[in-house]
Amino acid sequence: MDHHQYDIAIIGLGNAGSQVLLAMLEHQGFKDHKILVLDDFQGESLDKTWSFWEKGTGKWDHLISYAWDFGSFKTDDLKLDFDLTPYRYKQLKSRDVIAFAKAKLIDHPNCTLVENRVANVIENTETATITTEAGSFEAKLVLDSRIPSAFFQDTQSIKLQQHFLGWVIKTEKEIFDPSRFLMMDYRLRDPGTTSFTYILPYSATEALVEFTYFSSEIVSNQTYEKYLKTYLSDYLNIESYEIISTEQGNIPMTTYRFEQHNTRLVHKIGTAGGWVKPSTGYSFKRTEKFVGILIDNYLKSKPLDAGMFLKKFRFYDDIMLDVLKHHNDRGHLLFQNLYKNNPIKRILSFLDEETVLAEELKIMLPLTSWPFIKGFFKKLF
């Protein structure tokens, strides 16, 4: 059994694990660190798409699959087209990001890859012991992307799920505008739920079409498929199409405080660390920001999550989740008011947690329906 000691062990080479590893390999502060990465690559992480917005060019542009300069938002009462400038909406294939990180890892003399599932992590006095079928490993710090079991047992936090089924379809006729993606279309909804259609067009005849819920309970595959078929036939007037591939996911949207599981030797990252934006389910660009904070904190010997979670934005997220939890049938109205009363640049900046109070008031005040006010005071007191 290998008991070699590493400075840092990263469990999971998904979104968070890949970004942490690449950032460390690019930073001079880690040039002498011995890094261990453990992943059995048996999950669904290789078959996901990661979408995000950012201003101008970014560090991932060499891996980008598609990008859009324009977007749309629709309800029965509102049709909004917007220019994203100075932002662009971009899509990555998880397989490409992970392959890029894996290649960098294999080529680095101070890195070791163990393609095995982690069975257990035990904290000792100075190191943590990581047990796998390939042996045991010691690390001074473990960055762990496995969701703690306590999360699934918790009954106090609000727990919504962004769950969806998407089809990449190919049509005979030119249907889509490849320069414009559809953020949310609430014209077709599952009654009593916050549910919508999301479209990423790849060409005039090819697109990813997803039916998505923000809700407490998941639905059957037959339900997703029913709404996808209805949307394609009744809203896009598509008579014939081929399903090229499918994508299905479930992202937690929760008030649960994942950082409570961080210890001196084991730190949770990614979804397991609460890095998913609770009110939207977006995580890729947020992870990039949190990775920068984590690395800076590590090199300065500060708590690794210091400065990650800003209280006022966590407060806003908690309110939004409270409203969606208790008034799920009104979610489309909440988002309609958000998009109707704010330019897209302000909305994206707010979701990136980069706005000032004056901007935040402009975001929040139009949402002041009775459910929203009730949620506000519930969280305030």
In which residue are the tokens 């970014």 written?
A: 58
In a domain, 227, yes or no: yes
pLDDT (0 to 100) of residue 381: 47
What is the amino acid identity at position 234?
D
* Residues 223-243 as b or e (16 or more Cβ within 10 Å = b): ebeebbeebbeeebebeebee
At 253, the pLDDT band (50, 70, 90 cuts) reads very high
* Whether residues 294 and 276 fall in one domain: yes
At 373, the pLDDT band (50, 70, 90 cuts) reads low
| Percentage of the chain lying above the pLDDT 90 cut | 88
The answer to whether the CB of 160 falls within 8 A of the CB of 167 is no
Q: Residues 98-118: what's their mean pLDDT?
A: 94
* Whether residues 145 and 247 fall in one domain: no
In which residue are the tokens 């059995």 written?
A: 40
Peptide bond into 86 cis (omega under 30): yes
Q: Residues 284-294: what's their mean pLDDT?
A: 97
* Whether residues 233 and 170 fall in one domain: yes
The answer to whether the CB of 9 falls within 8 A of the CB of 141 is yes
78 exposure class (CB count in 10 Å sphere: 0-12, 13-18, 19+): middle
What is the amino acid identity at position 103?
A
pLDDT at 235 over 50: yes
* Whether residues 203 and 262 fall in one domain: no
The answer to whether the CB of 145 falls within 8 A of the CB of 271 is yes
* Whether residues 201 and 149 fall in one domain: no
Q: Residues 196-222: what's their mean pLDDT?
A: 97
What is the amino acid identity at position 45?
S
CATH of the domain at 209: 3.30.9.10
Q: Tens digits of per-residue pLDDT, 143-188?
A: 999 999 999 999 999 999 999 999 999 999 999 999 999 999 999 9
* Whether residues 237 and 212 fall in one domain: yes
Q: Up-side HSE of residue 10: CA atoms within 13 Å toward CB? A: 28
In a domain, 222, yes or no: yes
At 293, the pLDDT band (50, 70, 90 cuts) reads very high
* Whether residues 36 and 122 fall in one domain: yes
pTM score of the predicted model: 0.93
The answer to whether the CB of 95 falls within 8 A of the CB of 43 is no
Q: Residues 92-111: what's their mean pLDDT?
A: 94
pLDDT at 200 over 70: yes
Q: Tens digits of per-residue pLDDT, 349-372?
A: 999 999 999 999 888 877 766 555
Rg value, the chain, Cα: 22
pLDDT at 374 over 80: no
In a domain, 354, yes or no: yes
In the chain, how many domains are there?
3
* Whether residues 13 and 115 fall in one domain: yes
Q: Tens digits of per-residue pLDDT, 79-91?
A: 999 999 999 999 9
In a domain, 34, yes or no: yes
In a domain, 76, yes or no: no
pLDDT at 379 over 60: no
At 210, the pLDDT band (50, 70, 90 cuts) reads very high
Domain encompassing residue 115:
5-49+93-153+255-299
Q: Highest mean pLDDT: which of 40-49, 128-137, 204-213, 317-326? A: 204-213
* The 3-state secondary structure of the chain, one letter per residue: CCCCEEEEEEECCCHHHHHHHHHHHHCHHHCCCCEEEECCCCCCHHHCEEEEEEECCCCCHHHCCEEECEEEEECCCCEEEEECCCEEEEEEEHHHHHHHHHHHHHHCCCEEEECCCEEEEEECCCCEEEEECCEEEEEEEEEECCCCHHHHHCCCCCEEEEEEEEEEEEECCCCCCCCEEEEEECCCCCCCCEEEEEEEEEECCEEEEEEEEEECCCCCHHHHHHHHHHHHHHHCCCCCEEEEEEEEEEEEEECCCHHHHCCCCEEECHHHHCCCCCCCCCCHHHHHHHHHHHHHHHHCCCCCCCCCCCHHHHHHHHHHHHHHHHCHHHHHHHHHHHHHCCCHHHHHHHHCCCCCHHHHHHHHHHHCCHHHHHHHHHHHC
* Whether residues 201 and 345 fall in one domain: no
The answer to whether the CB of 314 falls within 8 A of the CB of 46 is no
In a domain, 167, yes or no: yes
pLDDT (0 to 100) of residue 339: 95
In which residue are the tokens 């704010």 written?
A: 342
* Whether residues 269 and 246 fall in one domain: no
* Whether residues 323 and 289 fall in one domain: no
In a domain, 64, yes or no: no
Task: Count other Cβ atoms within 10 Å, centred on residue 175.
Answer: 19
Q: Residues 115-119: what's their mean pLDDT?
A: 93
At 47, the pLDDT band (50, 70, 90 cuts) reads confident
Report the distance separating Cα 105 and Cα 327, nearest Å: 46
Q: Tens digits of per-residue pLDDT, 59-76?
A: 999 999 999 999 999 999
In a domain, 348, yes or no: yes
201 exposure class (CB count in 10 Å sphere: 0-12, 13-18, 19+): buried
* Whether residues 240 and 166 fall in one domain: yes
